[in-house]
Amino acid sequence: MKLSRLSLAVALLPCAPVYAASSQDDALKLSETLISANREVQQRSASTSASTVFTRADIERLQPSSVTDLLNRVPGVQTVQSGGQGSLTSLYIRGTKAAQSLVLVDGMRIGSASSGDSNLQHLNIEQIERIEVLRGPRSAVYGADAIGGVVQIFTRRSAGEGLKPYVRMGYGSRGSWQRSAGVSGGDEQTRFSLGGSLDETNGIDRSGPSYPADQDHDAYRNKAFSLSLSHSFSDNIEAGINVLDQRGRTEYDNPFGRFDMTTFESVEQDPYSDFTVSSVSSYLDAQVSEAWNSRLEVGHSENREESLDKLSDERGLFNTYRDSVNWLNTLSLNDQHSLLLGGEWYEDQLNSNTAFSEQQRWNQAAFVQHRYQAEHFSTELGLRHDKNEQFGSENTWSGALTLPLNASNDLILSYSEGFRAPTFNDLYYPDYSNPDLKPEHSKSYELQWRSQLAEKTRLEASVYRTDIEDAIASDQNFIPQNIAQARINGFEAALQQELFGWQGQLGVAFVDPRDRDSGHTLNRRARRTLSLDLDRSFGSVAVGASWQALSRSYDDPDNQDELAGYGLLALRSSWQTTPELKLELKLDNVLDKDYQRALYEHEGQQYGYQQEGRTALVGFTWTPAL
């Protein structure tokens, strides 16, 4: 990171080394709290957003191989990878495309300004404390890109007072190594968490039949670092900083080849990319009065990728640098009325060896949200105004009505608007862009039912409709235009159940994402998904299993190239041999299912990008007492 940019983010960092319990840091440990919906700590049951939360305890229980492995458990969420570990990943929330969902790390946008991708595949699971997934538009709070939903990732936090170190190591199939270590701690005024990790794998051959250079295994290497530090100056004032940095190299295949301008033919490549995904955010939180809390956040993020080729001097550079400032104010007017008032500014800077006609733009915004809580109902109404240097101004609205049927059942009716800002590729890419593009717009209607069916049975279900206008699609000359329209209908449900000591979590989703002009199903989106997790502890031994299933989908917008549905079984176990040492074993894709989520064409034949077959990983975690 550039020191000049980093200094901006640490401007609020306290110098004095002392601390009191942070309300937000403590809330990150709890499964029944939510921060992302209204950018403040609240009970998840009080939020009007359909949401899923994974805490650090969930991560350690489920033993996911990646962030995408966790996200595939969320009803209505699908991820598509073009190969194995470290390959390009697209996120689809409620049938929307990757660039229509917002990904945050500690409140910072981390997406690429050129492509709109967030590089989720590079976020190391060992450096993550918590993941919150909001399903449905949140543009009234976050602005552009939150049409499908919001994914917020929080870095590791302190585990409590005193020093608490940990060391973890794992070895598995295809020469895979996982190594991580860290330490956290603090006292009554200051807390911190510091960690690092190194993941490596020999990988798989991602593309199958193509050029000879593509017939090797595609390796992946990821070095990650995280830091969290907070300090309480008094009972009412706290400041802190959070840092997450991932960098490494991923090898991949290009079955389409590189077009040689001298021979006018496609020739083989042996490509790889060096990547960096990082963010640093600092905050100052003040309880100004009993009724007014104010929070100032300053941050910087980088999404850098340099693509190279071992067989030529071809080089592609696409680096996004983003600075941001947020000012959030929560006002408790009385027992029934509260206000959220905020202002936001961020600037995107693109550094590329491609000659984009513009390489920077800023966005400034103001938003307000009112909440009313009565005995028999509650309401939420939000408005945000964005002013962007390139596409002008946008207003977005949201509203929700909550009706408690009784102590165990709630109905929530909501309406939300959203928009997606065109990317730098859409607006400025040489010869294949359109600087006159307007943002995409959406309107969503949703009915939720939340029920505590029994003491150990919880059900949350939603039915929704989303209409997208001015959607950006390429015309016959590959120039992006506001010409597409989409209609998405869906149903999703999440059931939590404990029975005979087994903890079960079931998620199902039915989505019908349609191109309104052609009537075709939007490509690479399965219409039915299911996720089931079962876990049980037998004293010091824990066992678990997961089943994920998807129906068929189509790789192309014309629905000619079908991708078969599939189901994946995973098994896991752990043994707490001593209070300080835990052993783990997991098996993914136990049935060695051969499946694809994306296709490619080579010499007139169609093939699927390969996915990981059966894999095994054994590891240990050591937490010595100091």
Strand partners, 441: 419, 469
What's residue 9's pLDDT?
A: 38
Evaluate if residue 4 carries a pLDDT over 60: no
Q: Does 240 have pLDDT greater than 60?
A: yes
User: Is the confidence at residue 14, as pLDDT, over 60?
Assistant: no
Per-residue pLDDT at 109 exceeds 90: yes
Mean pLDDT in residue range 77-87: 92
Whether 605 has a pLDDT exceeding 70, the answer reads: yes
Instruction: Judge whether 350 and 387 are in contact, CB under 8 Å.
Output: no
pLDDT at 22 over 80: no
Q: Does the pLDDT at position 2 exceed 80?
A: no
Give the up-direction half-sphere exposure of residue 528: CA atoms within 13 A in the CB hemisphere. 7
Q: Give tens-digit pLDDT for 378-423.
A: 999 999 999 999 888 999 999 999 999 999 999 999 999 999 999 9
How buried is residue 261: exposed, middle or buried, by Cβ count under 10 Å (0-12/13-18/19+)? exposed
Please say whether the beta carbons of 132 and 142 come within 8 A.
Answer: no
pLDDT at 493 over 50: yes
CATH code at 164-622:
2.40.170.20
Mean pLDDT of the chain: 92
Share of the chain above pLDDT 70, in %: 96
Q: Look up the pTM and report it.
A: 0.93
Average pLDDT over residues 95-99: 92
Q: Would the CA dihedral through 140, 339, 238, 180 be positive or negative?
A: negative
State mean pLDDT over 579-593.
Answer: 97
CA distance 132 to 529: 20
What are the pLDDT digits (tens) for 449-485? 999 999 999 999 999 999 999 999 888 888 999 988 9
Among 601, 509, 530, 609, residue whose Cα is nearest residue 560: 601
% pLDDT > 90, the chain: 84
Q: Which of 245-259, 270-284, 392-406, 441-455 has the lowest mean pLDDT?
A: 245-259
Secondary structure of residue 23 in the 3-state scheme: helix
The answer on pLDDT for 26 being more than 90 is no
Tokens encoding 62 = 């489920």
Phi-psi region of 311 (alpha: psi -120 to 50; beta: other; left: phi over 0): alpha
Task: pLDDT band for 15, please (50, 70, 90 cuts).
Answer: very low
**What mean pLDDT comes out for the span 160-185?**
95
Partners of 404 in the β-ladder:
410
pLDDT band at 25 (very low <50, low <70, confident <90, very high): confident
Residue ranges covered by each domain of the chain: 164-622
pLDDT at 215: 87
3-state helix, strand, coil in the chain (%, to 5): 10, 60, 35
Kindly state the tokens that stand for 458.
């919880």
Identify the pLDDT of residue 23: 65
pLDDT band at 16 (very low <50, low <70, confident <90, very high): very low
Distance CA 427, CA 437 (A): 7
Q: How far apart are CA 91 and CA 81, in angstroms?
A: 9
Note the Cα 451 to chain centre separation in Å. 27
Strands 258-260 and 265-267, how do they pair?
A: antiparallel
Burial of 520 (0-12, 13-18, 19+ CB in 10 A): middle
